[in-house]
Amino acid sequence: MTAHTVTVGLGPLSIEDVVSVARHGATVVLSPESEAEITRSRDIIESLASDPAPHYGVSTGFGALATRHIPVALRAQLQRSLVRSHAAGSGPEVEREVVRALMLLRLSTLATGRTGIRLETARAYAAVLSAGITPVVHEYGSLGCSGDLAPLAHCALAVMGEGPVRLADGTLTDAASALRDQGIEPVVLAEKEGLALINGTDGMLGMLALAITDLRMLLKVADITAAMSVEGLMGTDAVFAADLHELRPQQGQALSAANIRAVMKGSPIRASHRDEGCTRVQDAYSLRCAPQVAGGARDTVEHAARVAGYELASAVDNPVVTKDGRVESNGNFHGAPVAYVLDFLAIVAADLASMSERRTDRFLDKARNHGLNAFLADDPGVDSGHMIAQYTQAAIVSEMKRLAVPASVDSIPSSAMQEDHVSMGWSGARKLRRSVDGLTRVLAVELLTAARGIEMRAPLQPAAASAAVIAELRREVDGVGTDRFLAPEIEAAVELVASGRALAAVETVTGPLR
């Protein structure tokens, strides 16, 4: 994808906008309308600065310390202290694309004019993103309530010119130097700004948008590998007929079945046993029910996309500046809606991987693979074929099942019981990223195995779509033969899936899959 410029304005960003900035380095600008609204709401916050009545985040402390009235002379220090103290993350660095996503989504909320931020602060966030400067954010620190506090605080700290950052080329440096070299003036926070920069569900939402994008592609790959497995295992495509799936009008199921039909279309392997000599009445569930499982996963992803869409249209902060000029506390920072779908996606990814692994296992079992060599080995006993590739798949699937245990049902009270129920959405997002990676690897092993099984059916030839993806694989991985160092071949297949090349190869034959 070619990087471009994303305009952040009063309307919601799309998932595609998030991916463009986070993953593909698109630059960012604020719309004139959003700049006008930011200025208008900032005037309201500044009018409260001398108000003797307490206003949370303007003239009070935070969380359980909200009862402390802060004198005017200490309010700038209040905002700096908030960011510095909340930048308390620990553990490994979070991926660049995640940090860019959460900064973009925080800027999106700032652009609504509901936070009371100053225009120069919002512009600084856009400038940092456009310059490719990425604050160092750590794995642990967010409970998914009161926003992704620690991750967002590390970003705010960098815009203040403090803490470590990475440049566009990955070089680690300090924020002050990075901002100076790009001509970006460090922000000196004013009333409420520290709070406005850290009080959002942006990290978990950014990871949700990235996961939805990846899963939409992987679901198409799952249909491809299922079709190749059915073909290579001498299964039937009759069960994927459109009228059968109309009997159960689940939308995702119908789409998955259509994809499998498209991939298997015209298969000489399938035609070779389309006669009375074929004694099999029904294929195993992992073959026959592939559209039901992948279709249910597809519908779940689209449900998650709807939730993400609502969240992308949100202004998440506390307090907020309303359109009629009130400054009101609220609970919109609670990450529950996002946390639930993050957990749901980890569940369906694990189940999709589980079915893929079962298809791989059938290829390797001489009692079930309909005439192929044991473990698809060239000389079984001397060679082990793909025996241990299935072990790798099984280990990943087992890990994915553990990752499918919901994070959102947990809650550890914090801030002296002021924040007594939290979403753990950030944790759900972190484990979903590992699950998406696991699914990619499991499907890659199935593709690698199905390709070998299909080639062992020679002189029978596969469907044109299967042949196209096998040809793409064979550019980097040799075909049937004696045992070789298998790990690099698995990694080549993983890259083929993750890059989208496997899907692209099939679509040169089928046209766009659904």
**Catalytically active residues, by annotation:** 56
* 107, 317 contact by CB (below 8 A): no
Q: Phi and psi (nearest 5°) for 138?
A: -105, 160
What six digits make up the tokens of 137? 């954010």
**Greatest Cα-to-Cα distance within the chain, rounded to the nearest angstrom:** 90
Return the SS3 of 248: coil
Q: Measure the N-to-C terminal CA separation of the chain; round to a whole number of Å.
A: 20
* 162, 135 contact by CB (below 8 A): no
The span from the CA of 202 to the CA of 149, in Å, is: 10
The span from the CA of 290 to the CA of 352, in Å, is: 9
Please tell me the chain's helix, strand, coil percentages from 3-state DSSP, rounded to the nearest 5.
55, 5, 35
- Interhelix angle 202-232/464-474, nearest 10 degrees: 110
What six digits make up the tokens of 475? 């550019």
Name 306's Cβ contacts closer than 8 Å, sequence gap at least 6.
none
What six digits make up the tokens of 24? 């593909």
Residue length, the chain? 514
3-state secondary structure 447-474: HHHHHHHHHCCCCCCCCHHHHHHHHHHH
306 CB-contact burial (10 Å; exposed 0-12 / middle 13-18 / buried 19+)? exposed
What six digits make up the tokens of 304? 């998650």
Which position has the token pair 């001509």?
183
User: Position 358: which residue type?
Assistant: R
Report DSSP state, residue 184.
P
What six digits make up the tokens of 482? 């004696």
* 376, 448 contact by CB (below 8 A): no
CA-nearest of 320, 330, 331 to 113 is 320
* 196, 327 contact by CB (below 8 A): no
